[in-house]
Amino acid sequence: MKILLYTDLAIRPDQLFWHRDLGLLTKAFRDLGHNAFLVVHLATEPSPPPAISNELDHPREQPCVAQQGLPRPSVAGPHPTSATSSKIKNPKSSIQDDPVLWVSQQDVLNPLWWQSQKPDLVILGLWTRPKYDSIRRAALSATPRVIERADSDGMRTASCGLLTYAKRRFDYFRDRTYRWPSPLSILASIFYSFTSILATPWIEYRLRKTLTLLPSVLIETSPATLLWKSLATRLGADPKTIHCVPHPIQTDIFKFDPAIPKKNQIISVGRWDSYQKNLPLLLKTLRYFLDKNPTWSSLVIGSGLPAKSPHPQITLLPPLLPPDLARHMQKSKIFFSSSRYESFGLATAEAEACGCLVVGPSEIPALTNSPFSENNFLFSSLSNRLLAKLCRASSLPCLPLSIRFSSCTPPEIAQQIIRLSQYIL
């Protein structure tokens, strides 16, 4: 089966992301014997790629260290469309070259390009944004089997929950304007949130057209799936096209290892220059906890960290490669998240697969059923509620966990998508 996995992302060859998202799925499909290709745009500037985000959700939180010194693809003509050979190997893959199709923006808008590829299945990472409908139509001209991954927490319009949606809109725009002067960023975010609510009828009209166009939509968590099904019903779209399929995790790397002793360590991972990840809340809560628990330490990993640690028991590290990150998670007892929102929480899933107890705000879909209830702290500040959760988690014995994300192995997710595609006529 020939499978194309496309996302509207311009990247350099040294930034190919085989350890996560559509890159990891591409490798999984090929390991299962399918002819799968990641379809992306070649960056023309030597700058980092734009963030992978939809209107509410931001990039996967796992830091990625680019491998340097990789050759650029040979480009024949203005629109490279052949696989490159950047030699990023998957340890369990027999692939000799990177399975990438470098395309132009004009290519993916052209039905003839999709038809020339003769795909049996197309997987889109376009976040259900209506502005990409022309690309969806072009892909559908080549095959009816088109599946889109929404990467969403389900708060897509104001009708999904007015107050939560307003907060998501505010947080989203604050993330986009985080480097502005704070008063200007706050006022702009309030205005953006308010206008998004007023524009709900127009947003839902456009979203309805997108949902009726797509044969299948994949949502990453059960709570978000329920919200999407309810929204599809209200909009007059078919809720049966909405399916819950988690993100794949590199479970050959991120896994519980009983031979590695756990220590009293809290680990946190993120893009800490992002408003979404809420570094001030993270450091404030950790300082309170560590002052009261001197036998514990904390490891904070990612980009955007301060030059100096704010506490002697807090160690700050730059982004790490997945195997190094996994080793730190395997040694840690607790994974702590301070995010204002997440669509899935990839680092959360990876940490839980490594046997960590996970503590974070209950607003995060993956933590909705957290064993560390907040019911007794309803009127406390978020920092106090998280501090109480950390204290409760730290008192539990370190035992092998029943892993909620054990079904997130790349082959299992790939096979699940294949099965879903077979029902598309």
Q: What is the pLDDT of residues 34-89, one digit of tens each?
A: 999 999 999 875 544 444 333 333 333 333 333 333 333 333 333 333 333 333 34
pLDDT for residue 76 = 31
pLDDT the model gives residue 385: 83
User: Other CB atoms closer than 10 Å to residue 54's CB: what's the count?
Assistant: 18
CA 349 and chain centroid, separation: 11
What pLDDT shows up at residue 59?
A: 38
412 class by beta-carbon count within 10 Å (0-12 exposed, 13-18 middle, 19+ buried):
middle
Q: Report residue 196 CA to chain centroid gap.
A: 23
Query: Which residues are bridge partners to 263 per DSSP?
Result: 332
The domain spans of the chain are 2-151+409-421, 263-394
pLDDT at position 371, please?
Answer: 59
Looking at residue 398, its pLDDT comes to 61
Which pLDDT value is given to residue 54?
35
Residues 373, 375, 381, 382, Cα dihedral to 10°: 30
Domain 263-394 homologous superfamily, CATH: Glycogen Phosphorylase B; (3.40.50.2000)
Where the chain has pLDDT below 70, the residues are: 45-97, 363, 365-380, 398-407
User: Which pLDDT value is given to residue 62?
Assistant: 34
Write the secondary structure of 77-101 as one string of H (helix), E (strand) and C (coil): CCCCCCCCCCCCCCCCCCCCCCCEE
In what side-by-side order are the strands of the sheet with 332-336?
314-317, 297-303, 263-271, 332-336, 357-359
Distance of CA 325 to the CA centre of its chain: 17
Report pLDDT digits (tens) over 352-404. 899 999 998 876 766 655 555 554 444 457 888 888 888 888 887 765 554 45
- 135: which 2 tokens? 């690309």
Per-residue pLDDT at 406: 54
pLDDT at 393: 86
